[in-house]
């Protein structure tokens, strides 16, 4: 357990959340994401994406659609000088999932399953790691896993926050660099 990690949610942190984004033409990178990731790499972090993808479970798009967009996204990061070590996704939803996707799975945030996978596969030291999400469930997943620093990216939203959240808040990804 000797690697520190930057754990990123996808929709709302890496790309603008337009709701169930699965097509390249709908994918818009959030300002500052590439700079944040380059800074993290320069500071010795491995980068991971941890993303709930209930759109698959709800039947809005397929796993193949998600995989195609993910390969494109990873290539865009490489063009910007950023290597994403791995993307973890959870297609499940306990209420709205269809067929095999209708289940309460350990991988779905706020549960820490995807983070634990990264720990097991890459030797991540969570006491030196940072998670950035845009929803309370992202922060809860980080806290449930034992991530040292959890950051809620609120952008310019008028988000009403749960006072029980013990995390940092940033309105730009540039501000998040100070926590690396």
- What positions carry a catalytic annotation? 9, 11
Cβ atoms within 10 Å, residue 179:
14
CB 55 within 8 A of CB 63: no
| Helix axes 136-145 and 113-122, enclosed angle (nearest 10) | 50
For residue 165, the SS3 value is coil
The residue with tokens 């808040």 is: 169
User: Is 86 in a helix, a strand, or coil?
Assistant: strand
User: Among all chains, which residue has been given the structure tokens 């520190």?
Assistant: 4
């Amino acid at each position: 357990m000797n690697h520190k990690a930057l754990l990123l949610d996808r929709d709302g942190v890496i790309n603008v959340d337009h709701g169930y984004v699965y097509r390249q033409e709908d994918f818009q990178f959030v300002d500052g994401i590439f700079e944040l990731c380059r800074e993290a790499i320069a500071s010795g972090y491995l980068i991971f994406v941890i993303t709930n993808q209930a759109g698959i479970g709800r039947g809005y798009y397929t796993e193949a659609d998600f995989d195609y967009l993910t390969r494109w996204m990873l290539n865009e990061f490489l063009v910007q000088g950023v290597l994403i070590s791995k993307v973890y996704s959870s297609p499940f939803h306990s209420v709205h999932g269809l067929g095999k996707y209708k289940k309460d799975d350990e991988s779905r945030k706020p549960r820490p399953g995807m983070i634990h996978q990264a720990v097991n596969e890459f030797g991540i030291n969570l006491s030196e790691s940072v998670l950035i999400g845009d929803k309370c469930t992202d922060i809860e997943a980080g806290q449930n896993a034992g991530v040292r620093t959890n950051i809620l990216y609120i952008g310019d939203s008028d988000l009403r926050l749960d006072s029980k959240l013990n995390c940092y808040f940033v309105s730009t990804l540039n501000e998040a660099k100070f926590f690396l």
